[in-house]
Amino acid sequence: MPPPAPAPPAFLQLAGHPLRWRLLGELARSDRMVSELTGLVGEPQNLVSYHLAKLKAARLVQARRSSADRRDTYYGLDLGRVGRELAAAGGALHPGLALGPAGQAPDRAPDQAGPPARVLFLCTGNSARSQMAEALVRARSGGAVQAFSAGSHPKPLHPHAVRVMAEAHGLDLAGQVSKSLDVFAGQDFDWVISLCDRVREVCPQFPGGPEVIHWSLANPATGEADAVTYPLFQATAAALETRIGYLLAAIADRPSAPRRAP
């Protein structure tokens, strides 16, 4: 008698449910609140919340209270963990199906032959998160993506943002300047990404139908002592690096379209 067939990996059993797979797909694109997810998937809130709880218990999805309204919660996909689980699932079926270095963001820059994609990162002060994201995209895309950043209430560049980019990525932010959203009013972008819950609520519409995404990242500038806040900046930089790796892969897969000159 042949040995019993092994059960599919737990990740496949969990993610293979049609609604959970749909939720994972929506959260792969942008962080969302439950009320937004119910509209996107066309299912009642109690059912969406039930399946989100399953995904959160498996640590595929993370939850964070909104910094704009503490009654709201943003859900986001743990891209690194999902990548590791997918790699392990492929390897469990056949060694040749393992999906490369488990958990690493894909190293795929957009094609430089076409017109460069334009990405705008937004946060409240344009002093840390959005500035770090702008620098990372410019460096990792090798010029194939034009990255910009702005804030709804600009503040001077935070010294910890300069320090962490220099120490962790060898990037010099010292010459970057905080800018207001008004600077980019009326310009066309391919992607507009908010990194702060507050700026998401005041983000204007941009022409050209850009892909609008939200990454709910806590502000590392808490006003506490440097010994407390600098590790927060390090964690934020690491989270941005992971998300940007996947963003560049998505941009590489997106066909270019004509765009007005800025």
Residues carrying an active site annotation: 123, 196, 203
Cα diameter, the chain: 72
Q: How far is CA 132 from the centre of its chain?
A: 13
What angle, rounded to 10 degrees, do the helices at 18-29 and 79-93 form? 130
CA dihedral 203, 206, 210, 213 (to 10 degrees): 0
Q: How far apart are CA 149 and CA 162, in angstroms?
A: 15
CA dihedral 35, 241, 70, 158 (to 10 degrees): -140
